[in-house]
């Protein structure tokens, strides 16, 4: 059978996928498509794909050994389709040139590299990398994430039993790609005492301390490992989206550091710098990062992303203009703070947010205008108690007690509670776990909040509370109560309480149960409310947990009376992650001008 006959028979046999029975598999790369063992485009004579070598007889031969292109599943599928349509009779010539041209318009022969670097850790690199993977995948491109070196204890295992960082697995999901070790060829798993287990290509390589790692590993084999794994991804994808590590401008270790600009060089990547604006100082970090890099590295930066903006981005205009003017790099946009359920590199999913699995967890609802949350720090003085700030009502299924904290605006945050489904969830858990409202949270637990003068919201209104305590709050005058108080517990075995009140409005408690007898200054009076079953409590006292008596009472109650977490099955994690990835891509497209990075007009492959 001559070469042409072999190709024609390959076309007849249809798309094969990976030939697991072939003893040479994988002759190019794991997951390769074996439809065209004999390439219909041979010899393409395209130096980007193959090269001339000396054959056994000393003559020049075209070698495809390093070409993975037609073994990409998407390319093979497309090629097969094109050939099926175009191959005429047995003897009609195949116009390989025009077929190759069609393929080239749809598939990159070598992946373009985009790299996301952060001004700091926690800038949002991982999230932006995942979002870029999803945006490109949505465009029809074949995409892979890459992080040359990652330090993380959160790893998972690929289908071939290799270990990679969890976050790259997530990014692979974003890219709709099978996670493979090449996406995270070096993984450091800290073991304590400055020693890490170094994993290379998903397998344990050696335990090293910091000096061994930098003096030996980084100087010798690290770049070779990075290069060969990047190469694999570059040959089998249209885009590789690379995540950097920490800041690229750590001038004390430049020369020893491989995960940022040296990886960018290997991949010849277009770089974007992400800076988290939440902490302030974002412009200082942008200028400092770029200006501390050598000229050649600066030139790689095609854009800057300001991430995690709370509030209106319009106020940043003058700063953005100065960045673009003085650094000559466009600011691609400002990403708003986005609530999502994707893990960050250092944290994990909801269920593992607690500091220890056996801990009792107090869930403090993260109201938009949360105030005086220092109140809850004291809870963690108790052994076996951790505090979780809860963003999502579903997370309340995992807590052992609920706290509604203080707020700068009770009525607006109450409306938010209703809208965000927190209200219904809290009511559902009434009687099952202890619920405590502090200050604004206390006001919310009552039946009614009256604001006939519009003191809270600027609007005269009367709103329904959560109705878990018989109490009515009245904002009857623009009068702010700020006073230090102390007294005794009326619940549990008694003891002292100390705190301070900062609030507008007065609460008329109609529950017979009271929490405290306040005896500091003036006539003693009773403060706070307790429901008939004892499970719902409200108080105006900030710092209520500072002294041990009430703290211990609350923790004891959580342990003895609460039904605790795990009442309902959580939603499938896959579902939550998939939703968040779709959201990430949407937010990215809505807020950034990606045109300096991605040619949106280019078609992308067919799926």
Partner 1 sequence: MTARVMVQGVTSGAGKSTLTALLCLYLRQQGFKVAPFKALNLSLNSYVTSEGKEMGIAQAYQAWAAGLEPEACMNPILLKPSDEGRMQMVLNGRPYAEIDPHSKAPDQRILVDAIKGSFEHLCERFDFIVIEGSGSPVEINLVGKDLANMRTAEIARSPVLLVGDIDKGGVFAGLYGTWHLMSGPHRRMMKGFIINRFRGDGSILGSGIEILENKMSMPCLGVVPMVELRTPEEDSLGMTGRGPRGSCSDDMRVVWVDSLQSLLEAAQPGLDLRRICDIGSKGID
The residues binding partner 1 (CB under 8 A) are: 118-122, 194, 210, 246-247, 249-253, 279-289, 291-292, 311-312, 315-319, 322, 355, 366, 368-374, 376-378, 380-383, 386-387, 389, 406, 408-409, 412, 480, 482-484, 500-502, 543, 545-548
H or E segment and range at residue 310? none
Query: In the complex, what is the shortest distance from the CB of residue 119 to partner 1, in angstroms, rounded to a whole number?
Result: 5
Query: In the complex, what is the shortest distance from the CB of residue 19 to partner 1, in angstroms, rounded to a whole number?
Result: 46
Distance of CA 26 to the CA centre of its chain: 33
Choice between 408 and 432, CB closer to partner 1: 408
Residue 121 and residue 246 in contact, taking contact as beta carbons nearer than 8 Å: yes
Helices (H), 473-572: 548-560
Choice between 38 and 389, CB closer to partner 1: 389
Q: Which residue has the tokens 């809860």?
A: 390
Q: What own/partner pairs with CB < 8 Å and gap ≥ 24 does 422-427 have? A: 422/365, 422/393, 422/396, 423/466, 424/393, 425/393, 425/394, 425/396, 426/396, 426/402, 426/466, 426/468, 427/466, 427/467, 427/468
Choice between 240 and 388, CB closer to partner 1: 388
Query: In the complex, what is the shortest distance from the CB of residue 335 to partner 1, in angstroms, rounded to a whole number?
Result: 17
Judge whether 453 counts as a catalytic residue.
no
- Strand ranges for 429-519 from DSSP E: 435-438, 448-451, 461-464, 471-474, 480-489, 496-504, 506-509, 516-518
Choice between 101 and 381, CB closer to partner 1: 381
How would you write 13-66 as a 3-class SS string? HCCCCCCCCCCCCCCCCCCCCCCCCCCCCCCCCCCCCCEEEECCCCCEEEECCC
Query: In the complex, what is the shortest distance from the CB of residue 50 to partner 1, in angstroms, rounded to a whole number?
Result: 42
Choice between 223 and 292, CB closer to partner 1: 292
> What interhelical angle do 3-13 and 73-86 show, nearest 10?
100
Judge whether 216 counts as a catalytic residue.
no
The CA distance from 33 to 42, in Å, is 17
Choice between 69 and 285, CB closer to partner 1: 285
Q: What is the Cα gyration radius of the chain? A: 31
The CA distance from 113 to 127, in Å, is 17
DSSP three-state, residue 549: helix
Residue 70 and residue 39 in contact, taking contact as beta carbons nearer than 8 Å: yes
Q: DSSP states of 329-379 as a string?
A: --EEEEEEP----PPPSSS--GGG-SSSTTSEEEEEE--TTEE-GGGGGGG
Choice between 494 and 512, CB closer to partner 1: 494
Query: In the complex, what is the shortest distance from the CB of residue 211 to partner 1, in angstroms, rounded to a whole number?
Result: 10
Local structure of residue 313 (DSSP, 8 states): G
Residue of 28, 71, 503, 542 with catalytic role: 542
Query: In the complex, what is the shortest distance from the CB of residue 22 to partner 1, in angstroms, rounded to a whole number?
Result: 47
Q: Tokens at residue 551, please?
A: 């703290």
Query: In the complex, what is the shortest distance from the CB of residue 459 to partner 1, in angstroms, rounded to a whole number?
Result: 13
Residue of 28, 271, 439, 503 with catalytic role: 439
Q: Which residue has the tokens 């790692």?
A: 213
Query: In the complex, what is the shortest distance from the CB of residue 444 to partner 1, in angstroms, rounded to a whole number?
Result: 15
The CA distance from 423 to 413, in Å, is 11
Choice between 48 and 377, CB closer to partner 1: 377
Active site residues: 439, 542
């Amino acid at each position: 059978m001559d070469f042409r006959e072999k190709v024609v028979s390959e076309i007849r046999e249809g798309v094969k996928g990976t030939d697991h029975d072939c003893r040479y598999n994988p002759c190019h790369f794991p997951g390769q498509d074996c439809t065209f063992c004999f390439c219909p485009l041979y010899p393409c004579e395209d130096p980007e794909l193959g090269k001339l070598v000396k054959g056994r007889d000393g003559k020049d031969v075209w070698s495809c050994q390093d070409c993975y292109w037609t073994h990409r599943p998407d390319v093979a599928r497309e090629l097969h389709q094109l050939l099926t349509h175009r191959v005429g009779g047995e003897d009609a010539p195949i116009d390989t040139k025009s077929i190759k041209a069609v393929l080239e318009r749809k598939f990159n022969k070598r992946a373009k590299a985009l790299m996301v670097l952060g001004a700091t850790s926690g800038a949002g690199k991982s999230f932006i990398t995942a979002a870029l993977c999803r945006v490109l995948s949505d465009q029809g491109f074949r995409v892979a994430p890459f992080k040359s070196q990652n330090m993380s204890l959160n790893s998972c295992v690929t289908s071939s039993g290799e270990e990679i960082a969890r976050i790259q697995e997530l990014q692979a999901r974003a890219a709709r790609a099978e996670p493979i070790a090449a996406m995270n060829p070096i993984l450091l798993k800290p073991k304590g005492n400055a020693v890490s287990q170094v994993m290379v290509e998903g397998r344990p390589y050696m335990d090293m301390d910091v000096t061994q790692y930098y003096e030996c590993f980084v100087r010798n084999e690290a770049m070779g490992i990075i290069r060969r794994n990047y190469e694999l991804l570059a040959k089998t994808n249209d885009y590789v989206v690379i995540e950097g590590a920490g800041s690229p401008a750590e001038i004390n270790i430049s020369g020893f550091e491989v995960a940022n600009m040296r990886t960018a060089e290997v991949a010849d990547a277009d770089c974007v710098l992400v800076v988290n604006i939440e902490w302030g100082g974002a412009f200082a970090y942008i200028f400092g990062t770029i200006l501390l890099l050598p000229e050649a590295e600066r030139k790689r930066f095609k854009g800057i992303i300001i991430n995690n903006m709370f509030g209106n981005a319009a106020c940043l205009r003058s700063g953005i203009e100065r960045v673009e003017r003085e650094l000559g790099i466009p600011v691609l946009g400002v990403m708003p703070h986005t609530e999502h359920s994707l893990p960050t590199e250092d944290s994990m999913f909801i269920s593992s947010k607690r500091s220890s699995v056996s801990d009792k967890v107090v869930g403090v609802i993260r109201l938009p205008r949360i105030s005086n949350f220092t109140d809850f720090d004291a809870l963690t003085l108790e052994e076996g108690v951790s505090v979780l700030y809860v963003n999502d009502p579903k997370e309340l299924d995992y807590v052992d007690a609920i706290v509604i904290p203080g707020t700068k605006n009770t009525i607006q945050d109450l409306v938010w509670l209703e809208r965000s489904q927190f209200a219904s969830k809290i009511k559902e858990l009434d009687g099952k776990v202890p619920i405590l409202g502090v200050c604004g949270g206390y006001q919310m637990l009552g039946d009614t909040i009256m604001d006939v003068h519009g003191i809270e919201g600027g609007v005269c209104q009367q709103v329904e509370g959560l109705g878990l305590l018989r109490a009515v709050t009245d904002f009857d005058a623009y009068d702010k109560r700020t006073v230090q108080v102390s007294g005794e517990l009326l619940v549990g075995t008694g003891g002292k309480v100390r705190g301070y009140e900062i609030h507008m409005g007065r609460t008329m408690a109609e529950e017979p149960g009271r929490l405290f007898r306040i005896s500091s200054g003036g006539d003693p009076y009773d403060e706070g409310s307790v429901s008939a079953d004892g499970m719902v409590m409200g108080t105006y006292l900030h710092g209520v947990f500072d002294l041990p008596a009430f703290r211990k009472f609350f923790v004891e109650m959580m342990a003895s009376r609460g039904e605790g977490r795990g009442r309902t099955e959580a939603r499938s994690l896959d579902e939550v992650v998939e939703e968040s990835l779709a959201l990430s891509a949407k937010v990215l497209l809505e807020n950034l001008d990606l045109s300096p990075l991605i040619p949106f007009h280019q078609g992308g492959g067919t799926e």
